Amino acid sequence: MAPRDNKQQAPVQKQKTAWYWWPFLCVEYLLYSWCFLVLAEWFGHYWGWTVGEHAKATFFSQLALLQDDFPELTQHIIDQVLIIFTTAEQWAMIEFVGIFAPITPYWQGMVFVTLALIARMIMLVSFYPLFLLALFVGLFDGLIVRQRRIAQLDREHVTIHYHSKRGLPLIVGGAGVIWLILPGLWPMHPLVVLLPSAVISGVMMRITVGSYKKYL
């Protein structure tokens, strides 16, 4: 009989993604979101959408929701999208003929899905200062909580700190992914998604900093 190996193998820890890979991860999730929205548009006739027209209507409805609350931002988004649309106009207005004529609405749907996704990316970049403000407030408040815990000789919360530290980037990144996908299916005001996400991010930052070890 072969001798038993009584040594317990240490669990393999997943290596953290280096910071210089973050832009590539953003591009990867952006491509996933784009593919999902294009497929949802192409197969939309199964749940009552008109292929090509749904993406166009959703895009303009999204801009109409922003027009009342953020007119300057809406105009900025329209200007940026028009620049891109003018550059790619000869590709966007392609109409297939003959046996390929049924492809035309699918092509137009893909074009408007792409334009709407670019518009939401501009919105997301415009709203990320809100996340920075929430994170800064959470950081400042968390430092106060930590100093109070040190003064009162309170116990450390390693588990809380560990989970909140891991959950913080998931919330910030997940909010971006949700914002890129959901309004592509139904018109949605950005504050419905981004404002609660910013508040939760600030709370998680407060918990992360406040539960950090007492002494550096």
Q: Give the Cα separation of 33 and 48 in Å (integer).
A: 21
Is 70 within the bounds of a domain?
A: yes
Asked whether residue 110 carries a pLDDT value surpassing 80, the answer given is: yes
Is 3 within the bounds of a domain?
A: no
Is 173 within the bounds of a domain?
A: yes
Token pair in block for residue 39: 């497929």
Q: What is the pTM of this model?
A: 0.79
Cα–Cα distance list, 81 to 59, 78, 88 (Å): 11, 5, 10
Number of folded domains that form the chain = 1
Contact indicator for 187, 62 with CB cutoff of 8 Å: yes
Is 9 within the bounds of a domain?
A: no
Could you read off the pLDDT of 168-208 as tens digits, one per residue? Answer: 888 888 888 999 999 888 888 888 888 899 999 999 998 88
Q: Give the Cα separation of 14 and 35 in Å (integer).
A: 28
Which letter does DSSP use for residue 103 in this model?
G
Is 22 within the bounds of a domain?
A: no
Report which residue type is found at 132: L
Per cent of the chain over pLDDT 70 is: 83
- Identify the CA nearest to 170 among candidates 133, 138, 200: 200
Is 8 within the bounds of a domain?
A: no
pLDDT at 165: 82
Could you read off the pLDDT of 42-97 as tens digits, one per residue? Answer: 898 888 888 878 888 888 888 787 777 777 777 777 787 777 777 666 666 777 87
Task: Note down the domain range covering 82.
Answer: 29-40+49-210
Is 12 within the bounds of a domain?
A: no
Is 194 within the bounds of a domain?
A: yes
